Amino acid sequence: MFLENRVSKWYKELPKNIKIAFVSTFILGLICHAYMMTNKWVNLDDIVQLVDNMERTSSGRWFLMFPSAIGSDFSLPWLNGLLTILYSAIMSSLIVAMFDIKSKISTILISGIIITFPTIGALMPFMNTQDSYQFGAMLAGIAAYLLVKKENGYIISTILLTLSLGIYQTYLGYAGALILIYIMLELFKNKDNYKEMLILFAKTAISFVLSLIIYLIISRGIFGHLLVDYKGLDTMGSLPLNQLHIIIFNAYKGMFDFFAGYEFNYHFVFMPYLFLIGFVLTLYLIYYIAKKSAMEKRKVTFLLILIALFPLAVNIIYVMSWQAGVMLRMVYGYTVAFMLPLILIDYIYKNLNNDVQFSDIELKKSEEKNTYKKKHLIYYAVIFLTVISSLAVYNNIYVTNKAYFKVGVTNQNSENYANRIISRIEMVDGYTEKTKVVFLGNPDSRTYFTKNYDPRDVQPFIIANHLTRLYSFKYYPSRFLGFNNVIKDYDEITEELEPLRNVIENMPLYPANNSIQMIDDTIYVKFKDIK
């Protein structure tokens, strides 16, 4: 009873909007992701990781296995999907608490941005790790909250950020951008907090740098001998000073390209034009609040620096991943850019409501005797930005489900393609369950119809439109088709295959006759010409 009473008291004292954030995240999360969560579809990696403890120290993800254990070592779509939504709901609640969000509409939209942003949809096909990655995002969110809300929060924040990096090295931008907005709003308040905010900014920088240093010490110092030479993992943390200006420029350019529709262009075709207007209106909101706050000069200077740093904070992954490149599943920091106008609107709603009545703004016309009622620009800005945010959330749901549809159709095509191959293998004279099988070249299950479910807005999800890639397709027969023979694959004629070069080069390509042949008690299937 004691525990029940404590929980009941805690729940009653919980602000209403935090409850709204939590519940709306679950509702919108199920609307967006239930399609994927209620089917078992795989991508090129997940088929390999169907049962895997996700120990990935060699990829610099030495902490990944621990949150992965919460969802078991199985690739479970329903459980891992629910855990992803749960972690996202905690993140939404933290943002509402961090900024003391009062607007119910802003609360719901912020929750929608957190759970529907396409980074999650791009990671969902990696089902065995999806929940763990969102756990890493949650740690970054908790770190941001503690850093600004607790007196010595930067100590715990440093630890949490380090662990987040040890799961997936992409969420620093999410935490950093949130903190910049928090400092920005604190500067607006009419109190002498300039030095306090400078100290908070310095603590943030120190915390982030320390977390990176600790992460690199663990990754390269302790586990460095295990790091693989893949996309610069074995040299991560090394920045060429002579290219630093280009790398930083690419972070700013990346944000422009994203909202202009030049990179990761999953948006509706008209959205870049709305984003441009939204950008101008967001700057206007900042100007409006700053003017109403009567900020002193040094605060204005600090504010301008924060605004200038914001794109870099959001896109810090462009600096961290300068060698490997950046994909949609790595840009979760953009969620904060979408949240910024909603947080500003809520600030106006809470702090400037005496000046701005959104329902009916009355302005006095000084040059005339009569007063008249006129809608203020801020009124239209709030409406327009709210509409853009709503459209963005729907756009996320829309394109994510298109991507899931593609995953489903791709899985069906690949399964039936593999079925036909296995049926022909089993018809080869001399075949037994102990016969070795070799795949030569990349198989391909694409048809003339494939392009119809691979449109422009789905392509940024980097979901292959055929699962038949060499390194993973060999697992399909044993994991889904009950085929027990050992399968090897080759994309070139190795020393082992050299004695068969002439035979292999003269074999026709699958599905032609003689594209599947028994040679020296081994069945060879030739999909592509190899050298």
pLDDT in tens, 168-201: 989 999 999 999 999 999 999 878 899 999 999 9
CA distance 248 to 257: 14
Instruction: Report which of residues 502 and 229 the model is more confident about.
Output: 502
Confidence of residue 446 (pLDDT cuts 50, 70, 90): confident
Condensed to tens digits (0 to 9), the pLDDT of residues 41-53 reads 998 889 989 999 9
Helical segments of 166-296, H only: 172-188, 194-216, 244-260, 271-292
Instruction: Report which of residues 382 and 6 the model is more confident about.
Output: 382
In this prediction, residue 242 carries a pLDDT of 85
Q: What is the secondary structure of 9-59 as a DSSP string?
A: HHHHHS-HHHHHHHHHHHHHHHHHHHHHHTS----TTTTTTSB----BGGG
Q: Extract the tokens encoding 457.
A: 């807005």
pTM confidence score: 0.92
In this prediction, residue 470 carries a pLDDT of 61
Averaged pLDDT score across all residues of the chain = 90
Structural contact between residues 237 and 220, judged by C-beta atoms closer than 8 angstroms: yes
Helical segments of 261-376, H only: 271-292, 297-314, 317-320, 334-351
Token pair 């950046």 in the structure block, residue: 326
CA distance 108 to 22: 9
In this prediction, residue 500 carries a pLDDT of 92
Token pair 């609360």 in the structure block, residue: 107
